[in-house]
Chain A
Amino acid sequence: MAGMPTRISTDEVAHVARLARLALTPEELERFTEQLGAVLEHAQDVEGLDTAGVPPTAHPLPLANVLRDDVVVPSLDRDEVLAQAPAVEADRFRVPRILGEVP
């Protein structure tokens, strides 16, 4: 495994913000770069720890494939769920265009 990366740059923060669908102002970008850098620097203390051959723990419980009987049970009321949506059309969630042309 390679060593820890160097301190996070403003370009990298701008990139992850874009991935996370967050628009940052120039001031936010600068402040977040500084703050994330400090947190990641602190996190680098795990670097010195010998973890060779140690399996990762993703979850505290050793659960896999939790299944129930395949029977129909009542679910959330559709109208009650749709009533909470910002925009609805024909019993569906309505969203802005996802393609660049009008169908």
Chain B
Amino acid sequence: MSGSDSGGAGRPTATGEVGATSGTGVPAPRFAGAAEIAGGVRSGRLLPRDVVEEHLARIESAEADVHAFNLVSADAARAAADRLDAAVADGRDPGALAGVPVVLKDNLCTRGVPTTCSSRILEGWLPPYDATVVQRVVAAGAIVMGKTNLDEFAMGSSTENSAFGPTHNPHDLSRVPGGSSGGSAAAVAAGFAALGLGSDTGGSIRQPAALCGVVGVKPTYGVVSRYGLIAFASSLDQIGPFARSVADAALLFDVIAGPDPADSTSLRDDPPSASARLGEGVDGLRVGIVTELATAEGIAGDVVARAREAADALAAAGAKVDEVSVPAVVYGLSAYYLIAPAEASSNLARYDGVRYGLRLTGGEAGRDGDDGDITEMYLRTRSAGFGAEVKRRIMLGTYALSAGYYDAYYGKAQQVRTLIIRDFEAAYERFDVLLAPTAPTTAFPLGAKTADPLTMYLNDVCTIPSNLAGHPAVSVPFGAGDDGLPIGVQVLAPALGETVMFQVAAALEAAAPPLAAPRLYSEGGTR
């Protein structure tokens, strides 16, 4: 699915070929970052409309290959840019993200703009409200470029479980971008936007960030409001930033973090600052490599090598680096694939054809048919509206919660969760942050893992423990694999440890080998 928001053309039509930073008629060889754009707009050096046209030109040129979007909001983006132009001209503060193009994962509610979760069951639905994060980025002057593709209801690790077709990795179009936030990761990597928002339940921001060569952050549970994020597994879901640099990710984090009365699980206190200690280096900080995650089954040799090199780089920068055992994390995957489906089976019970989205009745299929009985309507609506992966997880969760199996599955998984938290707490007595690979391999070919769900689930082995613990983690690009594709390394921190996490991430970024930009445009170059 793709389209344009307000009437007119079905595809974005970029007329402004002149890039705001290149001025040569071709997209800039190096994509301008969020801080750079906001600084330029705030000082009057850059016009928001030029920034928007430059990004729309890249979308026009490469989106047909990448398919990052479910919806490109070209007209709304132009209108927002014009309003911002007027604000700057009037001398009003245009905000910390002034003129910065941002993309939204399509499970974040946008008032009056289709929000699909890449599912047929929400077809045609127009949310009656904006998610809190959407309100905050727009209030900060960011310009929404569109809604991005995802695995249906954020269930997947490749963005292939989308009812609207897969997203392709900008670094190699025959490969997956990761998932579930694959559309946002690909859009940021391709220069369709400087920033992206995703959601991370078991790695759905960090794993696609790693596979697409961008920075992806899962904040501490409760630091970012989930109001307006369509629920998958409520005790694990967290919204977070994508960016092409650690500083840009920090900028976005600082805009979206903070208490929200509309989310009862949002923390009441002021959030940690992500930007406070960027550039301060890592001298004297204690960094632990998680032994179990660096040696986990299925982690490729090149991925382990980059993680070790990342640790060496931090040691060279003055950090005290050592190995640390966090024994219970090896049970994280099993616990997660009981807990997350259990919560999902409950959360997705609301898609019943009554209040929104698809309704199929026993008689004639139609939005106002009321023949047949209600159970028939539930069955028809849910069977036609959900894809295979969503059905699998609903059934897995229903089974894990059912009488007779609750203790053996769900109860046991909740105890494992306690053990993982305890083991992390013990590790953080000796270390400021922990280091681990993000994804077991570089981006894999489309279709390679769709036949066997368990193989797909193994992608999340290194990212899941942070969700179960509620802790923050960030994936930072660190070199390439034997196939030349991006590899990410994770920095993990204790709850509310974002300040030191971003500090270490910035040092890692500074030490990382240069990564080639996606070769989507005639003028390539590095970012």
A interface residues with partner B (beta carbon < 8 Å): 1-5, 8, 12-13, 16-17, 19-24, 28, 32, 35-36, 38-40, 42-47, 49, 51, 54-61, 63, 66, 68, 76-77, 80-81, 83-87, 93-98, 100
Set A58, A63, A86: member contacting B368, Cβ < 8 A:
A86
> Roughly how many angstroms separate A100 CA and B372 CA in the complex, as a whole number?
10
- Annotate B409-427 by CB proximity to A: 1 below 8 A, 0 otherwise: 1011111111101000000
A70 CB to closest chain B CB (Å) equals 13
Whether A84 contacts B377 by the Cβ 8 Å rule is no
Which of B56-64, B72-80, B311-319, B378-386 is near enough to bind chain A?
B378-386
- Contact at A51–B419, with CB atoms within 8 Å? yes
* CB–CB A1/B457 < 8 A: no
Contacts of B416 in A (CB 8 A): 46, 49, 51
Q: 6 closest Cβ contacts across the A-B interface?
A: A60-B470, A56-B414, A86-B359, A51-B415, A57-B417, A21-B378
CB within 8 Å: A-B pair count: 189
Chain A residues whose C-beta falls within 8 Å of the C-beta of B54 in the assembled complex: none
Q: Which residues of the partner chain A approach B398 to less than 8 Å between Cβ atoms? A: 16, 19-20
Which range contains the number of B residues in contact with the other chain?
A: 35 or more
- A53: shortest Cβ distance to chain B, in Å? 9
Question: Which residues of A lie under 8 Å from residue B368 when comparing CB positions?
Answer: 86-87, 94
* Chain B residues, Cβ within 8 Å of A43: 334, 337-338, 409, 413
Docked Cα-Cα span, A63 to B373, in Å, equals 41
Taking a contact as CB atoms under 8 Å apart, the answer to whether B335 and A46 are in contact is yes
- From A88, which residue of chain B is reached at the shortest CB distance? B368
A2 lies within 8 A of B331 (CB): no
Q: How far is the CB of A49 from chain B (nearest CB, A)?
A: 6
Q: Which residues of A contact B125 (CB under 8 A)?
A: 84
- B430 CB-CB contact with A under 8 Å: no
A57 touches B418 (CB 8 A): yes
Q: Cβ of A8 and Cβ of B399 under 8 Å apart?
A: yes
Scoring B residues 324 to 352 as 1 if CB is less than 8 Å from chain A, else 0, what string do you get? 00001001011101100000010001001
Q: Could you pull out 12 A-B pairs where Cβ atoms are within 8 angstroms? A: A16-B398, A20-B398, A21-B375, A22-B379, A24-B391, A39-B337, A42-B333, A51-B419, A57-B414, A60-B469, A85-B356, A86-B367
- In the complex, whether B221 has a CB less than 8 A from a CB of chain A is yes
Q: Which residues of B contact A57 (CB under 8 A)?
A: 414-415, 417-418, 421
Residue from the list B335, B379, B411, B412 in contact with A21, Cβ < 8 A: B379
Instruction: Give A67 to B386 CA distance when docked, in angstroms.
Output: 35
Docked-complex contact A36 and B396, CB < 8 angstroms: yes
Task: Tell me the dominant secondary structure on chain A's binding face.
Answer: loop
- The answer on a CB contact under 8 Å between B377 and A96 is yes
Chain B: minimal CB distance from A72 (Å): 14
> Is the Cβ of A39 less than 8 Å from the Cβ of B129?
no
A43-B409, A60-B468, A96-B373 given; name 18 further pairs at CB < 8 Å: A8-B399, A16-B399, A22-B395, A35-B392, A42-B337, A42-B454, A43-B413, A46-B413, A51-B416, A60-B495, A66-B264, A77-B128, A85-B355, A86-B358, A87-B368, A96-B361, A96-B376, A97-B374
Closest A residue by C-beta to B411: A56
Q: A20-B394, A21-B378 are in contact. Are A5 and B421 (CB under 8 A)?
A: no
Q: With A32-B392, A84-B356 given, is the CB distance from A76 to B129 under 8 Å?
A: yes
* Contact of A96 with B335 at beta-carbon distance under 8 Å, contacts A23-B379, A39-B454, A84-B356 already known: no
Residues of B within 8 A of A98 (CB): 373-374
Known pairs A23-B380, A56-B415; A93 contacts B355 (CB<8 A): yes
Cβ of B353 < 8 Å from any Cβ of A?
yes
Binds A, one of B89-97, B280-288, B400-408, B485-493: B400-408
Q: Are A87 and B370 in contact (CB under 8 A)?
A: yes
Q: Bound complex: CA of A86 vs CA of B378, how far in Å?
A: 13
Q: How far is the CB of A18 from chain B (nearest CB, A)?
A: 9
Q: Complex Cα distance A43/B371, Å? A: 43
